[in-house]
Amino acid sequence: QAQSLSFQELLNKKKFTEVIALADSLTPADSADYVTMSAIGQAYEGVLEYNEAYRCYQHCLQMDTTNVDALSSVARVAMNLGKASVAQDCFRKVLESDSTDFYANYQLARLYSQIGDYENAVLQFNVLRDQDTTKVNPVIYRNIADCYMKMNAIPAATICYFQAYNVNRENAGLASALVNCLYRMGGPNIQDGLSICDTALFYNPGNHALRRSKAMGFYMNKQYAQADTLYGELFAEGDTSFLTLKYGGASRYLAGRAMDAIDLLEWAYGKDTTDVETNLLLGAALGKTYDRKRAFLLFDQAEKLMQPNEALVNMLLTSRSETLFKDGRQREAEGLLYKAWLANKDRLDLLFRIEREYSNWGPEYKSAEDLGRALFAKVTFLREYFLTGKKMQGFQRYRSILQYLYEDAFFTNKTELVMIAPDNKKSKISAEDLKSIIDRLPDISQLPEVERKHYQQMEEVFKKRKENGVGSTKSEPLDENSEAFKAGMKAAQKYLDSQKKEEQKSE
């Protein structure tokens, strides 16, 4: 008991290291004393050694599993260790015995906010707010407002910040948070923000954050001369933050002092060369004064920086085209992808996506238009792919459709074949050029047996037609009961199945 009192006296004096030093001389019997172990835990917590504090508090909790102090201590340290589930369980146990416990409710609300569960955090803070509706607790309202800000619920955050500010106008940080919300809502709210800055500066004269907020309000309100004056004062006092330099220079330029704005904008540009507004403003100031050559370079850089994010643009293109395909609007989807490819011919994936929509089994096509579109898709993709010099593993699959079209041209005495692009423009490819593309494709000997057998049978059919002088593949189509046709359909179905699997993976 005397040892416990000694520990408590040291804790009261915040002499945490002395308590920890004394703890090393404790006997095993001392560890059974709740007060002693709790005091040691508090000492470790005081020097931020949370793991040791957690061990001590857990020991205390094992001695008395319903002790509110032990539960709260374990939960508090667990929060600092990132053990959110442990902290939540402990606080809930406290609230099961007393739902009005202020500390447990407050810490549980903070925990929700800490782990990003802002909706539950607001609900938990509301429990505290509603415990006493006769007065406004600015800390609770500010916490609620902070959560609303995280949720991007600006109007709700503004109301809560105002409630807190209204009973604590001396708080500069609270005033700044409220002003920031008002500025974000724009319009007449900007003038309200300026008024709050004046009130807050009455209680906190010279506060840099409030003065910066007031200068920004003048800038947003297009009161550039006033903004220039305030930013100039901040700069003279040593404030060289990027925003002060940028908007100070912008205010000066827009107030009609282009030459004087250059130094500030140059300094801001040196801090961040990727800021679009800084590039534009510095370029405009230089263009109005003495360096139009550099102004044009800055304008070019600004234009480049204003380009949309490439990854997002690609995501939009892919999502829109795939939705069009699924909606049965194949022509629109192909047109979209083809237009994107024309703008960037390195994007072979776009051509491949178009080509995938067309079967490699010739007899499937019911019209000359479909064949023309298929031919364009296959030929264009292959020509572009050849230019890359990459391996053509699996490209034997294109032999079937191209050979089919080539043989059709041979039997009908055509020297050219019509191709139709996704933008509906027609072009032609000579039979000789088509044959040269076929010859560049890998040999069918590398194909799986069933597909190789199909191609061999197809070649036999074409060979017999040549020998018999058959004039057209359309006047004498393949026999659907023939082994060649069955093997071909099986191979085609196998390819279509593999395409579907690829689509499912991409989804």
Please state, in angstroms and rounded to a whole number, the distance separating the CA atoms of residues 83 and 73.
13
- Pair (326, 417) in one structural domain: no
Please state, in angstroms and rounded to a whole number, the distance separating the CA atoms of residues 260 and 277.
17
pLDDT digits (tens, 9 = 90+) for 360-375: 888 888 899 999 999 9
Q: What is the pLDDT of residue 159?
A: 96
Which of residues 297, 316, 343 is at a domain's end? 343
- Pair (374, 323) in one structural domain: no
507 pLDDT above the threshold of 50? no
Q: What is the pLDDT of residue 260?
A: 94
Q: Which of 15-29, 56-70, 123-137, 194-208 has the lowest mean pLDDT?
A: 15-29
pLDDT digits (tens, 9 = 90+) for 318-341: 999 999 999 999 999 999 999 999
466 pLDDT above the threshold of 60? no
Number of domains, the chain: 2
Q: Where does the pLDDT of residue 471 fall: very low under 50, low under 70, confident under 90, or very high at 90 and above?
A: very low
CB count, 10 Å around CB of 21? Answer: 12
Whole-angstrom Cα Rg for the chain: 38
Question: For 186-213, what is the mean pLDDT?
Answer: 95
Residue 174: inside a domain: no
Which of residues 343, 368, 389 is at a domain's end? 343
Q: What is the pLDDT of residue 488?
A: 54
Residue 409: inside a domain: yes
380 pLDDT above the threshold of 80? yes
Which of residues 343, 368, 401 is at a domain's end? 343
- Pair (447, 470) in one structural domain: yes
Q: What is the pLDDT of residue 109?
A: 95
Q: Which residue has the higher pLDDT, 284 or 455?
A: 284
pLDDT digits (tens, 9 = 90+) for 21-42: 887 777 777 777 888 888 889 9
Q: What is the pLDDT of residue 13?
A: 86
Q: What is the pLDDT of residue 459?
A: 62
Q: Which of 91, 9, 65 is nearest to 42 (CA)?
A: 9
Write down the mean pLDDT value for the chain.
87
- Pair (329, 363) in one structural domain: no
List the structure tokens of 170. 């001396």
Bridge partners of residue 419, in order along the sequence: 427
Task: Assign 76 to helix, strand or coil.
Answer: helix
461 pLDDT above the threshold of 70? no
Question: For 446-469, what is the mean pLDDT?
Answer: 63
Angle made by CA atoms 296, 298, 302, in degrees to the nearest 5: 115
Residue 433: inside a domain: yes
284 pLDDT above the threshold of 90? yes
Residue 448: inside a domain: yes
Please state, in angstroms and rounded to a whole number, the distance separating the CA atoms of residues 242 and 268.
6
Question: What one-character-per-residue DSSP string does 362-412 give?
Answer: GGG--SHHHHHHHHHHHHHHHHHHHHHT---TTGGGHHHHHHHHHHHHHHT
What's the pTM? 0.68
Residue 315: inside a domain: yes
Question: For 220-231, what is the mean pLDDT?
Answer: 96
Q: What is the pLDDT of residue 477?
A: 47
Task: Give the range of the structural domain holding residue 334, as residue numbers without chain letter.
Answer: 308-343
- Pair (490, 384) in one structural domain: yes
Residue 230: inside a domain: no
Residue 434: inside a domain: yes
- Pair (391, 487) in one structural domain: yes
pLDDT digits (tens, 9 = 90+) for 482-504: 555 555 555 555 555 655 555 45
Residue 89: inside a domain: no
Please state, in angstroms and rounded to a whole number, the distance separating the CA atoms of residues 314 and 10.
64
- Pair (502, 432) in one structural domain: yes
- Pair (502, 376) in one structural domain: yes
Specify whether the CB–CB gap between 164 and 138 falls below 8 A: yes
Question: For 169-177, what is the mean pLDDT?
Answer: 94
Q: Which of 21-30, 55-64, 152-161 has the lowest mean pLDDT?
A: 21-30
- Residues 6 or more apart whose Cβ sits within 8 Å of residue 422: 331, 334, 335, 337, 338, 339, 354, 373, 376, 377
Q: What is the pLDDT of residue 11?
A: 86
Bridge partners of residue 420, in order along the sequence: 426
Q: Which of 210-214, 328-332, 439-443 has the lowest mean pLDDT?
A: 439-443
Q: Where does the pLDDT of residue 15 fall: very low under 50, low under 70, confident under 90, or very high at 90 and above?
A: confident
Q: What is the pLDDT of residue 391?
A: 87
pLDDT digits (tens, 9 = 90+) for 256-278: 999 999 999 999 999 999 999 99
DSSP state of 145: H
Q: Which of 176, 139, 141 is nearest to 161 (CA)?
A: 141
- Pair (398, 374) in one structural domain: yes
Q: What is the pLDDT of residue 498?
A: 57
CA atoms within 13 A on the CB side of 333: 21
Q: What is the pLDDT of residue 400?
A: 83
Pure H helices in 272-397: 276-288, 292-305, 310-326, 330-343, 348-355, 368-388
- Pair (334, 392) in one structural domain: no
- Pair (445, 414) in one structural domain: yes
- Pair (399, 487) in one structural domain: yes
% pLDDT > 90, the chain:
67
Q: What is the pLDDT of residue 489?
A: 55
pLDDT digits (tens, 9 = 90+) for 90-113: 999 999 989 999 999 999 999 999
- Residues 6 or more apart whose Cβ sits within 8 Å of residue 230: 211, 214, 215, 218
